[in-house]
Structure 1
């Protein structure tokens, strides 16, 4: 059986991972904005070189987000179980209203 200390340690590790990810995301947005501004003021976006940097860096951030959140990023935690429960409840309502 899992102790309270083990759950606390695992939860604190997860929070540390989230904090690290959000820090990286924030720096991505800030530095990306700076690159955009520098590119705009240097050549008026005739050649948007900043998109190469942002694109590859953004891909790295997306991969990290997928590792951290998995498929829960879009559908939420326990999405499939919730939908199954909703469908079962709907079928129960439909069969009870049949008469």
Structure 2
């Protein structure tokens, strides 16, 4: 994945969050589930390993980085957009199960 830095969670835990979207670190200990109906891609990434590799990004920004790393030719195409997205239900199910909620 490219090494340019985008919006990351501030290192200072007392800092006000800059974004309302979840961060990758919100899913530590679980998997990041991705699907693309256009390409047929279905991937699961270990959240902890992904965090160590790329940093703590908000999920929308991380999605673009993953699509680029997967070689999606539609990233940035305004006419035929990339449709890679999170299977957020699976991600929240595993997070809830982990925390006993």
Instruction: Indicate the TM-score class for this superposition, using the shorter chain for normalisation.
Output: under 0.3
TM-score between both structures, scaled by the size of structure 1: 0.22
- Give the structure with the higher percent helix: 1
Larger Rg: 1
Relative contact order (alpha carbons < 8 A, sep ≥ 6): 1 or 2 greater? 2
- Give the structure with the higher percent strand: 2
